[in-house]
């Protein structure tokens, strides 16, 4: 295991150089990996593992959209695609990749098939960390491990096909067999991780819930909406407001940040832009810091988890979700965005 200095703090990481794919294949050569759930993370992880030469099967409800998607992706009913209980029975490693609400609902079934020596794998620490709320308490005689790719399953798959990798965290909640470390790292390499950094189930879920509600999704939409509203209320056109709020950030500036950091992006902008950004970023930090502190507190107390459980367990959850997404999609800002995206050169008909 390598030690890498991250901003002055040394952390344990596992790289592909020290744990190459061949080693991962050797570690798992006798294992059957049963991917339970084919929604957000399931397709990317399952397909990457299969393409990397591992023995993978998928467990999914029959006569569902996800079952049909799995068939379309090349999984063969009765050979590599099975009803959930049959996959659970066949698998020695259970990759439990249903939604958090789905995991709660299916847990009594999963628990029946966790025979001694098996491994229970998560990509989110939610179910185990909030076990008093979810009821997910693994038996003591199985390994309980986590690989959490830092992005969507779609991104994981796209980057894999491009020959790249999405960084992932890994954690061991329970090592019943003495093989948990090798198993979790081999799986992390197998699903296409660029490198793996060490965490715990609790730290993963606390940081993940904070990030999703914060800078990754919730806060950034709030900032977009606020700036767009100010520009529009001061007479700027929808196209100009969207370009200056979203399009320039996503298409021009964030790729520079991804390439070499925030200072590199600043250095590649005009001196006027640099001066303004340097003068204003701390004001935005100070304005948002109390909100982030409140957010983290709500996550740590379990309140955000309970809100998620309560909302996502309702029978009409997907109907309500679609209504909320429709509100975003049909807002003027994102309607303007749809028109802007159509005008990108790569989207123009030749």
- Report whether pLDDT(151) > 90: no
Q: Tell me the pLDDT band of 221, cut-offs 50, 70 and 90.
A: very high
- Only one residue has tokens 């063969």, namely 76
**Nearest C-alpha neighbor of 204 from the set 285, 95, 130, 96:** 130
What local confidence, expressed as pLDDT, does residue 270 receive? 95
Q: How confident is the model at residue 4 (pLDDT cuts 50, 70, 90)?
A: confident
Q: What percent of the chain has pLDDT over 70?
A: 100
Q: What domains are defined for the chain?
A: 2-198 (3.40.50.720), 214-348 (no CATH)
pLDDT digits (tens, 9 = 90+) for 294-344: 999 999 999 999 999 999 888 898 899 999 999 999 999 999 999 999 999
111 is in an annotated binding site: no
pLDDT of 274-285, one tens digit each? 999 999 999 999
208 is in an annotated binding site: yes
- The yes-or-no verdict on residue 293 having pLDDT over 80 is yes
Q: Which residue is catalytic, options 124, 157, 183, 213?
A: 124
Residue 236 annotated among the catalytic residues of the structure: no
Task: Rounding to the nearest 10 degrees, give the CA dihedral for residues 264, 266, 269, 272.
Answer: -160
d(CA 103, CA 117): 21
- Decide: pTM greater than 0.85: yes
Q: What is the pLDDT of residue 350?
A: 60
Lowest-confidence pick of 93-97, 100-104, 330-334: 100-104
68 is in an annotated binding site: no
Cβ pair 147, 196 in contact under 8 A = yes
Is residue 270 a known part of a binding site? Answer: yes
């Amino acid at each position: 295991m390598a030690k890498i200095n991250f901003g002055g703090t040394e952390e344990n990481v596992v790289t592909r150089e020290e744990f190459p794919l061949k080693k991962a294949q050797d570690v798992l050569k006798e294992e059957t990996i049963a991917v339970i759930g084919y929604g957000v993370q399931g397709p990317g992880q399952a397909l990457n593992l299969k393409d990397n030469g591992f023995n993978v099967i998928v467990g999914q409800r029959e006569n569902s959209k996800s079952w049909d998607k799995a068939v379309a992706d090349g999984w063969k009913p009765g050979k590599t695609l099975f009803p959930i209980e049959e996959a659970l029975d066949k698998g020695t490693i259970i990759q439990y990749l249903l939604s958090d609400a789905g995991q709660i609902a299916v847990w009594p079934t999963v628990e029946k098939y966790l025979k001694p020596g098996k491994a229970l794998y998560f990509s989110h620490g939610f179910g185990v960390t909030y076990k008093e709320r979810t009821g997910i308490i693994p038996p003591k005689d199985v390994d309980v491990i986590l690989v959490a790719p830092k992005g969507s399953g779609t991104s994981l798959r796209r980057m894999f096909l491009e020959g790249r990798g999405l960084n992932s965290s890994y954690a061991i909640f329970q090592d019943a067999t003495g093989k948990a470390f090798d198993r979790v790292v081999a799986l992390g390499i197998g699903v296409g991780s660029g490198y793996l950094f060490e965490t715990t189930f609790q730290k993963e879920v606390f940081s993940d819930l904070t990030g999703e509600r914060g800078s990754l999704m919730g806060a950034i939409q709030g900032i977009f909406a606020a700036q767009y509203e100010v520009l529009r209320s001061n007479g700027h056109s929808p196209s100009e407001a969207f370009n200056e709020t979203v399009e320039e950030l996503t298409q021009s500036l964030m790729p520079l940040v991804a390439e070499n950091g925030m200072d590199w992006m600043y250095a590649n902008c005009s001196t006027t832009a640099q001066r303004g950004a340097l003068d204003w970023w701390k004001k935005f930090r100070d304005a948002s810091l109390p909100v982030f502190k409140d957010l983290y507190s709500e996550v740590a107390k379990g309140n955000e988890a309970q809100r998620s459980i309560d909302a996502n367990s309702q029978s009409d959850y997907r109907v309500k979700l679609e209504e909320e997404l429709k509100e975003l999609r049909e807002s003027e800002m994102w309607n303007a965005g749809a028109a802007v995206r159509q005008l990108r050169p790569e989207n123009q008909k030749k």
